[in-house]
Structure formats: structure tokens, C-alpha cells
A = this chain, B = another copy of it.
Amino acid sequence: MGYAFGVDEVAGAIADPVRREILAMLRERRMSAGQIADRFAISRPAVSRHLRVLRASGLVHDELTGRRRFYRLDPAPLARLAEWLTPFVADHPASAAWSRRFDALETEVYRTRRDRRRTPAGEPPAGTGRGPATKSVRPSTKDGGEERSA
């Protein structure tokens, strides 16, 4: 029980560079579909479908706000993937500690979720510097004062 999304979906989702990039972006802050799409050179519908894949794999959750749809990360499925690959890396290095961490993750994630919801304020750190590598033009999106819209 409890295993809704399989390793297949998660691994398949991660196998695409665009989707990995999206996940990386979402790690810092939640973003609307348009904000995400603006950072890639591909068309918006293409991004939309990537988002559908991520949704189907459980890696992101979407919440509709007005006419925009915001996506936020849910790392839990990644934990399951990590769980799968644990025995491979755990064969000889230290083993037990790993599973522990993953075990704790799903719980942690839950708490995290609450925290995020209580911190909808503007633009955290803005990140590691890892640019999208694809486009990152960010044209005049007119969304200057995003996020605090509601």
C-alpha cells in the first residue's frame, strides 16, 4: 500500500534534461506554468506536456490560482527512487544510515510543505547560479510583482 507512483515513472521523468531543469527550478520556489516556460527555448505547449509528465510521476503538484497554475516540487517520489538504488550503493559502503534518511524524508517533506505555504513571500535566494543553459532570456514578462498577487 501507499506506493502510488512507481520507479518507472519517476526514473522516466528524470531522464529528460528539460524536466530535470524544471525540478531544479522548482526546488527554490514555486512557479507558474508561464514562468517556467519562459525559461526554455521550446514552445509553451511543449513545456506544458513536460509538466504533465512530472505531475503524473508525482514529482510536482499544481494549484490553480486565478488564471495561473502554480507548480511546486514534491521530492517524495525521488526518495523512493533513492530507496531502489540504495542496495546497489549500500552493498559495501555503510548501509543502514541511508535507508534511515529516506525513511525520514517522506515525513520531513510533509512538514516542509506546510512551511512553504506559510512563506509565500517574494523570491528566496535566487539560487545556485545553475542557469537553465537553454534560454534564460526572461523577456518582459510583465509579471514584475508576481507571487504576492493574491
Contact = CB atoms under 8 A, between A and B. Distances in A.
A89 B112 contact: no
Interface residues of A, number: 38
A92 interface: yes
B27 A17 contact: no
A15 B20 contact: no
A82 B84 contact: no
B101 A75 contact: no
Interface in A12-40: 12, 14-17, 20, 23, 27
B78 A88 contact: yes
Interface stretch (A61-69, A103-111, A131-139): A103-111
Nearest to A94: B101
